[in-house]
Amino acid sequence: MTTRVPAVFRPYPLTMRETFRAELDGLIDSLARAARLTGQMMTNASTALNQADLGLAELVISGGGELRALCDDMDQRCVKLLVLQAPVATDLRMVIAAMHAVGDLERMCNLAQHIAKIARMKHPTVPIPGDVRPVFARMGLLATTLARDAATAIENQDPLSAHRLAQADEEVDALRRQIFRILFAEDWSHGVEPAVDAALISRYYERFADHAVAIARQVSFLVTGLPPER
């Protein structure tokens, strides 16, 4: 004899379409969460860098595991969606855009960790000389903001976000160029090692910002169905 569950406790079985939407919504939530996580990692990496905070640097380096596990999980969920639901048209584009975004998020995680690793390696010294620290602080702030904006773009599925993020990204690029001008100027007095660190770190910020913009472009692709502009 089987125990019958009262009808009131049995929800209507989900249709295939509803299952797909539910899975996709879960995926979008995870993507936004991962984008916020990369932003938090970058905030911590920047603080670790500017304040020679070894504990925070270690936190960023060890904390990458969580984000990478989340990315692996999202990647597998995308593949499962493709296998089990064989989505077409917009649904398919959405899954593909999600897969691209996962790749961007993984690299953002790596870039925040690269900065944390420089902070750890140079501890207890702050690798950035005092006179260029404000430029780096600004870059760090912009990079973090871009990650958060990418999260919001994912949540709101906002096709205009790509354009807005691209503008903020331009400021990051301009700051990177400014830093290189300072490093290469005659009056740079801090020697080779801080110059190399500064060049690499500014590159990491720049790449991090680029990936945040790429995510917003995927969102645009997803909503408009048009391939993102390069």
For residues 45 to 74, the per-residue mask of contacts with a copy of itself, x marking binding by CB under 8 A and - elsewhere, is: -----------------------x---x--
Q: Residue from 14, 16, 22, 86 that binds a copy of itself (CB under 8 A)?
A: 86
Distance in Å, CB of 184 to a copy of itself, minimum: 5
Q: Which residue has the tokens 């503008």?
A: 167
Answer yes or no: are the C-beta atoms of 60 and 44 closer than 8 Å: yes
Please report, for the chain, how many H helices and E strands are present, in that order: 6, 0
DSSP summary character for residue 55: H
Q: Single out the segment in contact with a copy of itself by CB under 8 A; choices: 13-21, 131-139, 160-168, 190-198.
A: 190-198
The answer to whether the bond into 124 is cis (omega within 30° of 0) is yes
Q: Single out the segment in contact with a copy of itself by CB under 8 A; choices: 53-61, 84-92, 135-143, 164-172.
A: 84-92
For residues 167 to 186, the per-residue mask of contacts with a copy of itself, x marking binding by CB under 8 A and - elsewhere, is: -------------x--xx--
The CA distance from 209 to 197, in Å, is 18
The CA distance from 1 to 59, in Å, is 55
Task: Output the CA–CA distances (angstroms, integers) from residue 136 to 48, 112, 189, in the order listed.
Answer: 12, 14, 18
Residues that bind a copy of itself (CB under 8 A): 68, 72, 79, 82-83, 86, 88-89, 92-93, 96, 99-100, 103, 180, 183-184, 188, 191-193, 195-196, 199-200, 203, 227, 230
